[in-house]
A and B are shown apart, each in its own frame.
Chain A
Amino acid sequence: MIEVRNISKSFGDKVILKDVSGVFEKGKPNLIIGASGTGKSVLLKCIVGLVRPDEGTVIYDGRSFFDGDRNTKTEIRREIGMLFQGGALFDSKNVEENVRFPLDILTTMPREERIDRVNFCLKRVGLENANKKMPSELSGGMKKRVGIARAIVNNPNYLFCDEPNSGLDPQTSIVIDELIQDISEDYNITTIVVTHDMNSVMGIGEKILFIYKGMKLWEGNKDEITHSGVQELDDFVFANKVMGSLRGK
């Protein structure tokens, strides 16, 4: 479980996050949603420690990330897997080397075992025969899947996904969403997904946090989201034409 307590962050005079709190549970995807520029990605970066918040803290299963010493931070980070918006695959390494990278650097696992683990993860994301391909040879969806394989290769306790569906067609988006959901449930890990894709919200949104202008305005699940009674959330949800037509009904 990850607990975010009273996170605030400003860049210069611009306030990005204001006193955001929330609890993200184990074994299911937790979604952070909101329009572009509302501070979702900054919140995610604060949670994983890439950005230090001005105020507030993040607790990983009882361990405070920002108040802990360097060893605690390193320990927590080595339990994290993250899928970045563009995949963030290392250009100079092929798919296998990219996925194997965390094992090469962070473990003392024998080489054969590492390769077996890489093959298992690539199979899990449906990329059995892509080991020797370079990132430049992959499509957007394949890059995301390799990113997921790399994120789970080290058996993380926490999985973070920043806009996993951006730039993908609806069908591939559903595949990625289902993959994230299955991985969260199968390995019982705490997963946080940042998205503004309503398909994802309605598909895997078992716990949703709505961010509006840097503040948490609403918390609930996909069944409650269409009748939240929060005007800003309604505007966001029903901006989608399909959702809008459902509202009409």
Chain B
Amino acid sequence: MVREIGKYFIFLGHLFTNRETFKTYYKLTLDECVSIGIGSILLVALVSTFMGAVTTVQTAFNMVSPLIPNYVISQVVREMTVLELAPTIIAIIYAGKVGTGMAGGLGTMRITEQIDALEVMGINSISYLVLPKVVASMLMYPLLVIVAGVCALLGGYLVGTITGIISPNDYVYGIRYTFNEFTITFALIKSIVFAFLVASISSYKGYYTQGGALEVGISSTQAVTNSVIAVLLADYLLAQLLLSK
């Protein structure tokens, strides 16, 4: 375990040493941004819309006291979405989609000697292959989280108003009521950290794949499980660091 963590940090160190020219990374990073961003936006939008809808219905179901005003439903949806559902739950989905792709791609490159080919050419393969993925992930994931937040609130609004759980005015009022802007900053800080963890851990697992097709599958699975554990751990640490009074 300690050995593995040490190897991971050495791997991270190689991202920034003996690099190629900026122009090389620029194009690769843009390609990764398109692949990560465009490739994930539909899934993120779909999942977060339903997440917002379900949260609205379940919050309403738990509001049993007539003394609690209706707008509290959307206030709860807002807090849950911004603080936890959009950055963290979407990070788990992101690890499943983007992380497995990264691990599988790099693992296949490893077993078909494409990574060896880069090394023989004198190219730092870790930096060349992984740095654009990490940078693109850190650029695109916060945007996906913003999309997820908007879609979740929209999903809650649609379901809440269509089913008559809450009136449109109450929903909007609740969204705006006692809103603390720092929660957005906090969500974006979390999203950058999670994006780094998912991209770097998945790439690490894929890069060091040994064996054949079976091992590529194992690396992809490990990439998701390890990324999710790291995300949840980081989630707690960030909450403790930035939200505790």
Interface residues of A (CB under 8 A from B): 48-50, 70, 73-78, 80, 82, 84-86, 88-91, 101-102, 104-106, 160
Is residue B6 contacting chain A, with contact meaning CB distance below 8 A? no
A-B contacts, CB under 8 A, total:
53
Q: Judging by beta carbons under 8 Å apart, are A82 and B120 in contact?
A: yes
Q: Judging by beta carbons under 8 Å apart, are A106 and B113 in contact?
A: no
> How many angstroms between the C-alpha atoms of A80 and B109 in the bound complex?
20
> How many angstroms between the C-alpha atoms of A49 and B120 in the bound complex?
8
Q: Judging by beta carbons under 8 Å apart, are A84 and B121 in contact?
A: no
**A105-B119 contact given A84-B113, A88-B112, A91-B114, CB 8 Å threshold:** no
Q: Judging by beta carbons under 8 Å apart, are A50 and B121 in contact?
A: no
Smallest distance from the beta carbon of B80 to chain A beta carbons, Å? 40
Contacts of B108 in A (CB 8 A): 91
Contacts of B122 in A (CB 8 A): 73-78, 80, 106
Smallest distance from the beta carbon of A62 to chain B beta carbons, Å? 19
Contacts of A91 in B (CB 8 A): 108-109, 112, 114
> How many angstroms between the C-alpha atoms of A75 and B18 in the bound complex?
13
Nearest B residue to A162 via CB reads B113
Q: Judging by beta carbons under 8 Å apart, are B120 and A105 in contact?
A: no
Question: Contact partner of B120 among A75, A80, A101, CB < 8 A?
Answer: A80
Q: Judging by beta carbons under 8 Å apart, are B24 and A105 in contact?
A: yes
Contacts of B18 in A (CB 8 A): 70, 74
- List 25 A-B pairs, Cβ < 8 Å: A49-B119, A50-B120, A70-B18, A74-B18, A75-B122, A76-B122, A77-B119, A77-B121, A78-B122, A82-B117, A82-B120, A84-B117, A85-B113, A86-B112, A86-B113, A88-B114, A88-B117, A90-B114, A91-B108, A91-B112, A104-B24, A105-B24, A105-B121, A105-B123, A160-B120
Smallest distance from the beta carbon of A160 to chain B beta carbons, Å? 8
> How many angstroms between the C-alpha atoms of A73 and B17 in the bound complex?
14
> How many angstroms between the C-alpha atoms of A90 and B108 in the bound complex?
11
Contacts of A48 in B (CB 8 A): 120
Smallest distance from the beta carbon of A169 to chain B beta carbons, Å? 22
Dominant secondary structure at the B interface: helix
Q: Judging by beta carbons under 8 Å apart, are A77 and B113 in contact?
A: no
Contacts of A80 in B (CB 8 A): 120-122
Question: Contact partner of A50 among B20, B114, B116, B123, CB < 8 A?
Answer: B116
Contacts of A75 in B (CB 8 A): 122
Contacts of A74 in B (CB 8 A): 18, 122
Contacts of A50 in B (CB 8 A): 116, 119-120
Question: Contact partner of A88 among B20, B24, B116, B128, CB < 8 A?
Answer: B116
Smallest distance from the beta carbon of B114 to chain A beta carbons, Å? 5
The 5 closest A-B pairs by CB, nearest first: A77-B122, A88-B113, A88-B117, A78-B122, A84-B113
Nearest B residue to A73 via CB reads B122
> How many angstroms between the C-alpha atoms of A70 and B18 in the bound complex?
9
Nearest B residue to A98 via CB reads B117
Contacts of A84 in B (CB 8 A): 113, 116-117
> How many angstroms between the C-alpha atoms of A75 and B122 in the bound complex?
8
Contacts of A78 in B (CB 8 A): 121-122
**A105-B112 contact given A48-B120, A77-B121, CB 8 Å threshold:** no
Interface string of B124-135 (1 = CB under 8 A from A): 000010000000
CB-contacts of B49-76 with A (<8 A): none
Question: Contact partner of B20 among A70, A77, A90, A105, CB < 8 A?
Answer: A105
CB-contacts of B1-58 with A (<8 A): 18, 20, 24
Smallest distance from the beta carbon of A16 to chain B beta carbons, Å? 15
> How many angstroms between the C-alpha atoms of A49 and B116 in the bound complex?
10
> How many angstroms between the C-alpha atoms of A77 and B117 in the bound complex?
11
